[in-house]
Structure 1
Amino acid sequence: MESTHTGHEAGHKFLARLGKKRLRPGGRTATEWLLTHSGLQTDSRVLEIACNMGTTAIEIAQRFQCHITGIDMDKQALANARKNILANGLSHLITVQEADASKLPFPDNHFDVVINEAMLTMYADKAKARLLQEYLRVLKPGGRLLTHDIALTERREDECVTQEMQAAIHVKAQPMLSDDWLALFRDAGFRDVIRSEGAMTLMTPKGMLHDEGLAGTLKIIRNALKKENRPQFLQMFRHFRQNRDRLRYIAVVSTK
């Protein structure tokens, strides 16, 4: 994942620093849909790729009491995840480690579920396909891949919205049309591909209240309005508000 515009933080790191815990385009609603269709059970073995601060892994462990391995390339995110896991008393169910999603340090046919939210969008299309091959490799036959990304509502030939988003979040994101996302999973060898789509709620007031609660939302806004944070926050907020009809979240469940 490449960051752009030196001197600016990548959008997800910036929002995390402001206090945001849900860093997904469709927020809690999309993650809940994925978990409802995950087939998770107590004896499931789960891999979360790009686990960040551990929010989803903690939710899965609390809800299903299954074992989760989380990986991330960001050392600070992993440190935060370990702290959050410990605070929730879930060290017996969740382990996290630094690892590269393109070279997963796990054997073939190892996991029942792989979950990867808000990451594939950040890669070029060919890189997306290579990552999916690696996810397919570590999944058991019949295992499920849960993903949560950004979908375009207009043809990719109009690069305007993509370029604007890259400038706003300071990452070379490459969202796709919904049908192109589904084709990507099928071409990688997945079957029974199903989806849920909806409005992006990452930075809407309603979405933040739903995902972070009143106290969490007030903390984010208070930090966002500090002099050093205000320009980047407003740039991101305006971009997603102005493009609310051209960008959506897409949650996908695919089976090996």
Structure 2
Amino acid sequence: MEMEQDKLGHNFLARLGKAHLRPGGRVANDWLIANGDFNKEKKVLNIACNSGDTAIALATKFGCNVTGIDLDEEALEKARHTVTENKKVSDLVEFVQGDIIQLPFSDNQFDIIVNEVMLTLLPLEMKQQALTEYLRVLKPNGLLLTHDIMLETKDEAEDVIAELEDVMNATIAPLTKSEWKENFKQCGFRNVDTFSGEISLFSPKGLIDYQGFAGVLKIIGRALKTKNHKSFIKMLKAFRDAENKLEFIAICSQK
């Protein structure tokens, strides 16, 4: 599933200043955090950490040790630079390059794994391979917190998924709620709890919640530049079309 990093949709959004690709916005994120039992004693793994915003935020808020992993070395360099300048968490956060299908960690190493949207981008077999790896590196009774995209129904979803794949330049493979839960259970997870609702990635409220009013204005300003305008409008339309057929799903499960 490799492709040129500069063509990936999430990297385009990051250049505009849209730091978080969270379909359920702050509501879903807050639900996951509330279920995560974070504290300074916990060792946390942040899957597909990108530029490190989530890893740094968790270490700052809870004082926990966080390891971020991503394939994109350029994003990791940015993350390392950011954490080096943040003296409060520089001893708590590290970033490593690696593949989620073959995590470079020993068994039973982490108390919590945080994985946002990554599973949606994997075909079914790779979803199961990733979940099996997450289970391996989690400690007994450890928690997996995921935030993904959910099909409301299998009917009439093909067109909107194809549109999203086009604008994101990536595979989009969401599942229904029952399919998500069944896959987690098949891979060995228990106590699979879910929270779902409307996608708010590009809604005015969702944008302001995460970016702030000034941040939204900056995104709009960058999006309206000639080199970005066409791609942004196309992406905005795709996610607006998806709102009627797709939802977010946040999942808290246990080893």
TM-score, normalising length from structure 2?
0.95
* C-alpha displacement of 1:176: 1.0
What's the counterpart of residue 190 of structure 2? 191
Q: How many residues align?
A: 254
Equivalence for 2:54: 56
What are the within-5 Å matches in structure 2 for residues 129-140 of structure 1?
129-140=128-139
2:108 counterpart residue number: 109
1:229 is matched with which residue? 228
Query: d(CA) in 1 for partners of 2:189 and 2:35?
Result: 15
**Amino acid of the residue matched to residue 14 of structure 2?**
A
> How has the CA–CA distance of structure 1 residues 112 and 58 changed in structure 2, closer, same or farther, with 3 Å as cutoff?
same
Aligned partner (choices 23, 33, 36) of residue 35 of structure 1: 33
Return the match for 2:11 from 13, 27, 43: 13
Q: Does the 8 Å contact 1:193/1:254 carry over to 2?
A: yes
Equivalent of residue 85 in structure 1, options 83, 86, 97: 83
RMSD over aligned Cα atoms: 1.6
* Equivalent pair of 1:50/1:117 in contact (CA under 8 Å): yes
| TM-aligned CA deviation for residue 243 of structure 1 | 2.2
Partner of 1:46: 44
Look up the SS of the partner of 2:120 in the other structure: helix
Partner Cα distance (1:217, 1:25) in 2: 17
* Aligned CA distance change for structure 1 residues 187 and 171 (closer, same or farther; 3 Å): same
* Contact 1:68 1:93 (C-alpha < 8 Å) held by counterparts: yes
Over 3 Å counting, the alpha-carbon distance change for 1:156 and 1:91 in structure 2 is farther
Q: Which moved more, 1:25-34 or 1:107-116?
A: 25-34
- Alignment partner of 1:102: what SS? coil
Match of 1:100 in 2: 99
Alignment partners' CA distance in 1, 2:6 and 2:79: 23
Shift of 1:137: 0.3
* Counterparts of residues 153-232 of structure 1 (less than 5 Å): 153-155=152-154, 158-232=157-231
The equivalent position to 2:23 in structure 1, one of 12, 18, 25, is: 25
- Does the 8 Å contact 1:156/1:176 carry over to 2? no
Unmatched tracts of structure 2, length 5 or more: none
Of stretches 30-39 and 141-150 in structure 1, the one that deviates more from structure 2 is 30-39
* Contact 2:45/2:110 (8 A) holds in 1: yes
Unmatched tracts of structure 1, length 5 or more: none
Distance 2:235 2:2 in 1: 18
Percentage identity across aligned positions?
44
1:140 CA drift (Å): 0.6
